[in-house]
Structure 1
Amino acid sequence: MYEFLASASELLFKDANVLLKLREWFFSQAGNILLALIIFLVGRYIIRWIKNVAVRVMTRANYDTAAMGFVSQIINYVLLVGLLLICLNQVGVPTTSFVAAFGAFGLGIGLALQNNLANLASGLLILIFKPFRAGHYIEVGDIIGSVTSIQFMNTIITTKDQKRVYIPNSILTSQSVTNYSYMTERMIPFVFDIGYNNDHHEAIRILKDVFAKDKRILNAKYMEIGISEFGDNSVRISAFAEVKTSQFLDVRYSIMSDVKDAFDKHGIDIPYPQRVVYIQNADTSTGEIKGTKKKVTTTNQES
């Protein structure tokens, strides 16, 4: 510290003209310095007022708390930099070089961190427009899980098997995102296979009875249900049950179990995929086919 003060004193007093020039500049710019101080104080008050107005507007629009804090800080720093440039220009300091330096610095930072800036901007868009929120159950590509946290650089998703997946925000704004929690009610698409030798009218009646007994199904009286396809091994019956989003999986598992019990009780087959193979025995000396055997194979049994 002593060496620094000694060097400063030597520099100042080596040429007395330095102190004279500083004094002359101070007295000549005293009015501008006072005006710059007033501008700075008034400007700080205006910046604070603009921040509060922005926060109130975002609060009324039900913006996320993190988004409000981030936007208000950006407003504060941008306006503060502009205020400082105005004050410096008022006291006679040329600000053109400052603006050029800030521009070059910002360009360099932008090129070096363009991917991170893309994630940052995407995170801000997610927080503002809210395509999903923390706690929502979403699907992105082959990743399905609950949103644990929305951060400025990435979003954390917890999968069903308790894996934490960090997805860059730029991916979430450039790909399709399926939000399963946005709607309060959802349709469960069911597909049931029955054998061709079963009565499909009876099967549909049994399914309607199963759905009607479950009070969690909201559209049991007017449910869309019927034959949707004639498959290779079965007749396919589709049904669409409307339930509360929070009960989606519980109702699905329960209905599948109840339908299996009802089909077993009424003798409705749920067929296995099967293949019919014809085996021919030929006499190698004469080429005559002596007999044909029919062999039916399924995924679980062979006859």
Structure 2
Amino acid sequence: MEISKYTDMIIIYVSQYGLKIIAAILIFLIGRWAVKKLTSLSKKLMQKAQIDQTLIEFSESLIYFVLLLVVVLASLNTLGVNTTSFIAVFGAAGLAIGLALQGSLANIGAAVLIIIFRPFKVGDYVEAGGATGVVEDVNLFSTIIAPLDNRTIIVPNSSIIAGNIINYSNKKQRRVDHVFGIGYDDDLKLAKDTLMQVMIDDTRVLSEPAPFVAVSELGDSSVNFVFRAWVNTEDYWDVYFEMLEKVKLTFDEKGISIPYPQMDVHTNKIEG
């Protein structure tokens, strides 16, 4: 008799709530699938409209979050949950969570500022938030930067906005700067002409602005030259490193020395 009672209760609950639970699960699963499709479609449309990649990545995250929230509310409504009161509870909980997660909200606000003022975009080479590398993604909470050694650095957006941002890709041209020293006994004019010729011989060095070489310092052990060559931004690092090698090899060919710090130690013999 007791078993029959519980069996009847189970049948009543299953018949009353079983279909609702199944419907809620189906709504959530189908809705999540639809959200992914709609998010992907919106991304393709924005790419077709040639919208900035940074804005596309940010909008994609925002659209997905908002649509998924709608799906969750629809699933709860199917279960018979009063979503109006749920939204009120959610708002109160959101306020409490917001106070506890002020840093995360600051990151969201910083993401909005990055999108509005656009100090950089996806694909730019930047120095920001203590990281240096190529910007791979900007989402609601962080910016993903990949250094040249192929690591992944996740930087909170608030850290980026709070500090200096150096964008190395923003300009079409960059200047390669080096300082080269020669010995005081070396031919100053020959060294200066040699440095200038090294730049002129490289087709990647732009003629306008013109290359520049000048004596910058009469140092303790060397005469120092500033060496400045303008190049297209995409050629910067190749030219930067290759110039060091070319100057050293050319100086060696022409017998021009590059001094290095040294110390002369004199000892005095004291006779007792």
Tell me the TM-score normalized by structure 2: 0.69
Matched, 1:264 2:252: yes
Contact (CA 8 Å) 2:217, 2:225: kept in 1 or not? Answer: yes
Report matched runs for 1:203-282 at 5 Å.
Answer: 203-219=191-207, 222-282=210-270
Q: Where in structure 2 are there 5+ consecutive unaligned residues?
A: 1-9, 17-41, 71-83
Report matched runs for 1:111-260 at 5 Å.
Answer: 111-140=99-128, 142-219=130-207, 222-260=210-248
CA distance 1:250–1:197, shift in 2 (3 Å): same
**Counterparts of 1:266 and 1:5, CA distance in 2:** 94
What is the SS of the residue equivalent to 1:248? Answer: helix
**Counterparts of 1:133 and 1:146, CA distance in 2:** 10
How many angstroms does 1:253 deviate by?
1.9
Aligned length: 220
What is the SS of the residue equivalent to 2:206? Answer: coil
Contact (CA 8 Å) 2:205, 2:229: kept in 1 or not? Answer: yes
Matched, 1:64 2:55: yes
| Root mean square deviation of aligned Cα | 3.3
Contact (CA 8 Å) 1:134, 1:150: kept in 2 or not? Answer: yes
**Counterparts of 1:60 and 1:151, CA distance in 2:** 19
**Counterparts of 2:222 and 2:244, CA distance in 1:** 18
**Aligned residue among 94, 98, 106 for 1:110:** 98
Contact (CA 8 Å) 1:212, 1:220: kept in 2 or not? Answer: no
How many angstroms does 1:230 deviate by?
1.8
How many angstroms does 1:255 deviate by?
1.6
What is the SS of the residue equivalent to 1:172? Answer: helix
CA distance 1:5–1:217, shift in 2 (3 Å): closer
Residues 14-57 of structure 1 deviation map (CA, whole Å, 9 limit, x = unaligned): xxxxxxxxxxxxxxxxxxxxxxxxxxxxxxxxxxxxxx9xx99x
**Counterparts of 1:132 and 1:208, CA distance in 2:** 34
The aligned residue for residue 298 of structure 1 is: none
**Counterparts of 2:136 and 2:50, CA distance in 1:** 25
Q: Which amino acid aligns with 1:133?
A: K
Q: Where in structure 1 are there 5+ consecutive unaligned residues?
A: 8-51, 81-94, 285-303
Q: Which has the higher contact order (CA 8 A, sep 6+)?
A: 2
How many angstroms does 1:196 deviate by?
1.0
Larger-Rg structure:
1
How many angstroms does 1:142 deviate by?
4.6
Q: Which amino acid aligns with 1:265?
A: E
Report matched runs for 1:44-123 at 5 Å.
Answer: 62=52, 64-69=55-60, 104-123=92-111
What is the SS of the residue equivalent to 2:266? Answer: strand
**Counterparts of 1:269 and 1:252, CA distance in 2:** 21
Residues 243-294 of structure 1 deviation map (CA, whole Å, 9 limit, x = unaligned): 011001111222222111211111110011111222110111xxxxxxxxxx
Contact (CA 8 Å) 1:137, 1:146: kept in 2 or not? Answer: yes
CA distance 1:206–1:185, shift in 2 (3 Å): same
